[in-house]
Amino acid sequence: MTTNDYATARAISEADAHGRPIEGQIVVVTGGGQGVGAAVARLAAIRGAAGVVLAGRTRSKLEAVAADLSCPALCVAGDLSEVDACFRVIDEAAEHFGAIHMLVNAAGFTERGTIDSTSPELYDRTFNINVRAPFFLMQRALPHLRKTQGTIVNIASIVSHAGPPMISAYCASKAALGVLSKNVANTVAGDRVRVNALNMGWTATEGEHGIQTGDWHQRGEDWLAETDAAQPFGRIARSEDVARAVLFLGSPESGLMTGSVVDFEQRVIGSLSDVDPGKAD
């Protein structure tokens, strides 16, 4: 073992010992007022973030999450379908905290619409929030991330592989975000900025509850229990599961990993048969 090997081993053991892999970092989280974004913000604070920037449409929701964090927080309210709002998130984050180390694009928009029924307005709003917003958030953040050799994590979706018929524009937008993540990762690798994406599988969030009990699906309040029981591992994902994967990708724990689009899903993509949820009992 060389001197450098010993130094590396010591650094790893020290990081593991205190469980704070993003100690001192400033983390920007879009969609931070609820669901996955809020879970990422809470876990970032627990894991050592020096500050968290919460961006989203509803200030009251952002402030409620901020009040629950164990680190300083900045709330930036705005509609991310507007490019100026994206720029303002990054500008205010950098001005308030003086640096940016991680950008997590967790904001997303989904509304039911097939290839036959999707209107131009629905298509545009879907792509504006799910693709254009991350594009310009990354663009604005990169000068700061180059200085800190920071990271970007984009929340894509498992439906980017194909997806169900009733969310055609959403599926296409998340596939676009995955390719964009790879392109940007390649562009900034020389600057030692890492960019990865997470293809999030079916996850229980406040937004998903509204979708499942809404006009399209019209499921009862017990939809989650029914859905959980039908899964190979006995449940669909929770926001906290996704947050752990996001912070793995965005922290030094993922090492040199960049340009990856990770399927965060319990069903194997491309498999020809389903899994019996009772087989492990």
- From the list 243, 75, 25, 253, the residue with the least C-alpha distance to 155 is 243
Measure the CA–CA gap between 107 and 29, rounded to whole angstroms.
Answer: 8
Quick check: is 170 catalytic? yes
What does the DSSP 8-state code read for residue 268?
P
Q: 51-56 and 151-157: which strand pairing? A: unpaired
Which residues are within 8 A (CB) of 52 and not within 5 positions of it... i.e. 6 or more apart?
26, 27, 28, 29, 32, 41, 44, 45, 66, 69, 71, 72, 73, 74
Measure the CA–CA gap between 201 and 81, rounded to whole angstroms.
Answer: 24
Measure the CA–CA gap between 142 and 75, rounded to whole angstroms.
Answer: 20
Measure the CA–CA gap between 220 and 228, rounded to whole angstroms.
Answer: 14
- Amino acid symbol at 162: A
Q: Locate 268 and state its tokens.
A: 């194997």
Q: Locate 211 and state its tokens.
A: 């979708």
- Of 127, 136, 170, 264, which is the active-site residue? 170
Annotated catalytic sites, by residue? 170
